[in-house]
Amino acid sequence: MVLVIQRVKRASVSVGGEVVGSCGKGLMMLLGVAEGDTRSDAETLAAKAVKLRIFTDDDDKMNLSLKDIGGEALVVSNFTLLANYKKGNRPDYMAAARPDEARELYEYFVSLLKGELTQVGTGAFGEHMEIDMSADGPVTIVMRSEIFRQQK
């Protein structure tokens, strides 16, 4: 799995001009599910994302987590995070999981966040979406679940 985390003041996602998900202060997350990813990958990234200390404390140091600040999240599926751009100029997405598998792990990841946070918005899986957000910092972090698998 690939998870791109953007610290935001607010974010929303629309389909056909209608807002389908949003969050206030917190994290905008783009989640790409790779072929071979498992529930364990989703559990690892969800746990790390809610505990990642990237929000500032009273001394203006990044020392607080999403959970510490009572922050919100918006999660959008994004298979293009698995792009292979090594050969030619047109990326392929062969590393991305099949849609049915990706949807299951995406929904599982979202359910894990909902168990930890008060507000979790989502995009519309498989749809063309427009994202509107106010980045905070900006602070952007890219996580790959394979890194955690290698550490075990």
From the candidates 44, 56, 80, 140, which is the catalytic residue?
Answer: 80
Give which of 138, 147, 6 is closest to 75, Cα–Cα: 6
- Which domains are present in the chain? 2-151 (3.50.80.10)
Is 98 a residue whose pLDDT tops 70? yes
Backbone φ and ψ for 138, nearest 5 degrees, come out as -75, 150
Q: How far apart are CA 107 and CA 66, in angstroms?
A: 20
3-state class of 25 per DSSP? coil
Q: How far apart are CA 91 and CA 63, in angstroms?
A: 37
Task: Write out pLDDT tens, residues 35-67.
Answer: 999 999 999 999 999 999 999 999 999 999 999
Which whole number is the average pLDDT over 75-93? 95
To the query of whether residue 80 is one of the catalytic residues in this protein, the response is yes
Structure tokens belonging to residue 147: 């890194």
* 93 contacts 79 by C-beta, under 8 angstroms: yes
Q: What percent of the chain has pLDDT over 70?
A: 98
